[in-house]
Amino acid sequence: MHACLRKSAPGAKESLKWGMPAFSYRRILVAFAAHKHHIGFYPTPSAVKAFARDLLKFATARGSIQFPLEKPLPLPLIGKITAFRVRESIEEDKKWRT
């Protein structure tokens, strides 16, 4: 997962946010954490909403996605969601500059 996030958000800063590994680029893009039965992925509510059709087979909440440990991680989808967050972050910055 780390390599996928690094590839999808080149130049993003890695840090800990809320006790979880996170990637930030001007603001927090995504965070993730291992749990007993799943990997929690936290890409913000806007990303969960934007990818709702792709996430139908996963448990989701307002700003989180649960990937079961017994199944392979959907790395292409994780990469798309992370790239979406990078683009979203850049667009949000443009709004504040005008």
Instruction: Give the pLDDT confidence of 32-88 residue by residue, as tens digits.
Output: 999 999 999 999 999 999 999 999 999 999 999 999 999 999 999 999 999 999 999
Does the pTM of the predicted model rise above 0.85?
yes
Q: What is the pLDDT of residues 9-36, one digit of tens each?
A: 999 999 999 899 999 988 899 999 999 9
> Which three-class secondary structure state does DSSP give residue 10?
coil
CB atoms within 10 A of CB 69: 12
Q: Give me the residue spans of the domains in the chain.
A: 2-88
Measured between alpha carbons, how far is 97 from 71 in angstroms, rounded to an integer? Answer: 43
Torsion region of 28: left, alpha or beta (phi above 0 gives left; psi -120 to 50 gives alpha): beta
Measured between alpha carbons, how far is 12 from 90 in angstroms, rounded to an integer? Answer: 12
Query: Are residues 95 and 26 in contact, defined by beta-carbon separation less than 8 angstroms?
Result: no
User: Which pLDDT value is given to residue 52?
Assistant: 98
Indicate the class that CATH gives domain 2-88. alpha beta
User: Which pLDDT value is given to residue 83?
Assistant: 97
